A and B are shown apart, each in its own frame.
Chain A
C-alpha cells in the first residue's frame, strides 16, 4: 500500500537555526515527489517537484533532496515568515491511478524571532 510519513509532526526553531524535515515513502514506482507549504486558512502552495533519486531543488532558504526511500526539506537560517505546515506528497508511476497524489500529514514548523 502506498504510504507517506512525515517527521517530526511539529518543529520549533529559533530564527537562524537550520534544520531538516523528513518525508519517507513507499509507493509502487515513484513518478514524482512534491513539497507544498500551507499557511493557516489557506490552500497548499506548491514548492518543488523531485523525480529521481539524487535530484535536488532550491528556492531561497529551502532545499529539497530525494533518495529512493525518502526526501528531505532543508531549511537554512530560517526566518519567522517560514513558519507554516510543510506537506509532502508522492505520485505513483504505474499500476493505475497515476494521477493521484498521496499526502503525508505534514510538519508544522514554527520559527521564533
Chain B
C-alpha cells in the first residue's frame, strides 16, 4: 500500500547502544522529516531532508544522525543512546516544502 512506513513500531534498548529507526515512503515525496514527541513539548523537529543527499538540522539534532541515499528512505540513527532520547519518533514526508506533511504511525523507543 502507498504511504509512509516506520519500523520498528516498538524498540527497547540500553544506554550506549546504537539504534536505527527506519522510514520508507512510496509517494516519491522530495521532503522527509524526523520528529520526536514528548509530553509537554509537542512535536519537535530533529532533522529534515529536501532531497536525496541533502539533509539539515532541526530544533533538537544533538545525538542523532541521518542519511538519505535514496528518495524513499530516511533512516534516523542514535549513535550512543541516552535515557533522554526515550520518546515517540515520527517520520513525515511532503511533496514540496510548503505542502502538508504526512506522518507515519511512529516508533516508540525506550532506553533503559
**What is the CA–CA distance of A106 and B37 in the complex, to the nearest angstrom?**
11
Task: Name the interface residues of A1-56: CB closer than 8 Å to any CB of B.
Answer: 31-32, 34, 36, 41-46, 49
Interface range on chain B (Cβ under 8 Å from partner): 20 to 34
**What is the CA–CA distance of A54 and B31 in the complex, to the nearest angstrom?**
29
Interface range on chain A (Cβ under 8 Å from partner): 20 to 34
CB of A43 within 8 A of CB of B90, answer: yes
Residues of chain A within 8 A (CB-CB) of B45 are 100-101
B98 in complex: contacting residue of A32, A43, A46, A106, CB < 8 Å: A32
CB distance from B66 to the nearest CB of A (A): 15
Q: For the complex, is A65 an interface residue (Cβ under 8 Å from B)?
A: no
Residues of chain A within 8 A (CB-CB) of B43 are 44, 87, 89, 101, 103
CB of A105 within 8 A of CB of B97, answer: no
Query: Which residues of A are at the interface with B, using a C-beta cutoff of 8 A?
Result: 31-32, 34, 36, 41-46, 49, 87, 89, 91, 98-101, 103-106
CB of B97 within 8 A of CB of A42, answer: no
Closest CB pairs A-B (n = 6): A43-B103, A99-B97, A105-B42, A103-B43, A103-B42, A46-B100
CB of B104 within 8 A of CB of A43, answer: yes
Chain B positions 69 through 103: 1 when the CB is less than 8 Å from some CB of chain A, otherwise 0: 00000000000000000000010100001101111
CB of A101 within 8 A of CB of B101, answer: yes
Residues of chain B within 8 A (CB-CB) of A101 are 33, 43, 45, 101
